[in-house]
Amino acid sequence: MSKSLVPNGDFETRPSNGFPSEAISDGPTEIPNWKTNGTVELVSSGEKVGGGMLLIVPRGMHAVRLGNDAQISQELTVEKGATYAVTFSAARTCAQLESLNVSVPPASQTVDLQTLYNVQGWDPYTISFEAGDDKVQLIFSNPGMEDDPECGPIIDDIAIKKLVAPDKPKDNAVVNSGFEFGPWMFPNVSLGVLLPTNLDEDTSPLPGWMVESNRAVRYIDSNHYAVPEGKRAIELVSGKEGIISQMVETTPDKLYSLTFSLGHAMDKCKEPLAVMAFAGDQAQNFHYTPDSNSTFQVASVNFTARADRTRIAFYSVYYNTRTDDMSSLCGPVVDDVRVWFSGSRRNQVQVLLGVGLAFWAYLLVLV
């Protein structure tokens, strides 16, 4: 088991009176390492609830279900002042509006589980916090009050990772430009990690970046997806409702280029794939054009900085789904984002000249 898992974060540690599914005793089940409040149940893979619905256990044999207003918590030893990302898997049990509140007081975030991002019915998510002390309480609670007491979110695989602030490269104004710094990902989970809304750039689970929208973007790894550069990238899975952005340092009135890799994750995502890229007052959309030699292409936007900070942002132009199940959400991949001083207009002129020459060459071939 990974050292990033919090103690009994996968709920596979056997309670002293056995798992409820073994029906050894009728007493309330304790959950080793966790404190509980309200109706918290250890559920087993293959178990059904009233109505015959099969409970989803993300991984392994066991997970927990939080009933109305119920919570589980655990005290963690951390490094005061450091920023941490918590990765956990969550599933909803009923086709109702379910959400999960994750808090490390005073930080608190509610994750919406209404959107099903893939057909397996569960997804890994991440949230982050800055440790105000060397002991913190990690609390998962179900803020819902549903009519059916058998509803309520299921959680599993809770892991924690201390985030390291990436160095700022000399020739690139973008921090964490290749998305290599981010939350914990289980090496054998193929679903990536969803990054929900995060407007606080100082404590983002993806250092340097914000998720501005109310839907999530997916953090993907090269073990399971095609990644343009390094081991990690972002897949924009929520159309115009999944926006990642960063405020980069710029010098007013200077000309810059934003370049990035636009790719296909090779996850059976149905094309067309396209992103809208923003840099200052410029916005441009780019379609991914498949090339047999590569899973990505490089795109660029030129802009003149108007202030000492310029916003760059990306969203997916389309709402894409996978071709095999027609419902799992997917989209274009963005990686290797660079903002650099282009100094003069020369580069732009060269590109235009190049395009012009190619056009004339094309005409000559036609003739």
Q: Is 221 in the site for Ca ion (CB under 5 A)?
A: no
Binding mask 6-45 for Ca ion (x = CB under 5 A): ----------------------------------------
Residues 266 and 140: their CA atoms lie apart, in Å, by 34
In which residue are the tokens 């490089």 written?
A: 298
Q: Is 301 helix (H, G, I), strand (E, B) or coil?
A: strand
| β 71-77/135-141 pair status | antiparallel
Which residue, 232 or 338, is less far from Ca ion as judged by CB?
A: 232
Least Å distance, CB 261 to Ca ion, is: 8
**Of 75-83, 229-237, 325-333, 343-351: span binding Ca ion (CB under 5 A):** 229-237
* Residue 213: closest CA among 235, 243, 238: 243
In which residue are the tokens 């997804």 written?
A: 123
Which residue, 206 or 313, is less far from Ca ion as judged by CB?
A: 206
Applying CB under 5 A, among 123, 229, 235, 267 the residue interacting with Ca ion is: 229
Residues 141 and 223: their CA atoms lie apart, in Å, by 32
Residues 302 and 309: their CA atoms lie apart, in Å, by 16
- Concatenated DSSP letters of 122-163: EEEEEEEEE-SSSEEEEEEE-----SSTT-S-EEEEEEEEE-
Binders of Ca ion among residues 230 to 259 (CB under 5 A) are 230, 232-233
How many residues at the interface with Ca ion, by CB under 5 A?
Answer: 7
| β 210-211/135-141 pair status | unpaired
Which residue, 230 or 239, is less far from Ca ion as judged by CB?
A: 230
- The 10 Å CB-count burial string (b at 16+, else e) for 195-215 is bbbbeeeebbbbbbbbbbbeb
Binders of Ca ion among residues 335 to 354 (CB under 5 A) are 335
Which residue, 278 or 296, is less far from Ca ion as judged by CB?
A: 296
Binding mask 175-214 for Ca ion (x = CB under 5 A): ---xx-----------------------------------
Backbone angles phi, psi at 244, to 5 degrees: -105, 145
Binders of Ca ion among residues 279 to 338 (CB under 5 A) are 335
Which residue, 33 or 295, is less far from Ca ion as judged by CB?
A: 295
Which residue, 88 or 179, is less far from Ca ion as judged by CB?
A: 179
Interacting residues with Ca ion (CB under 5 A): 178-179, 229-230, 232-233, 335
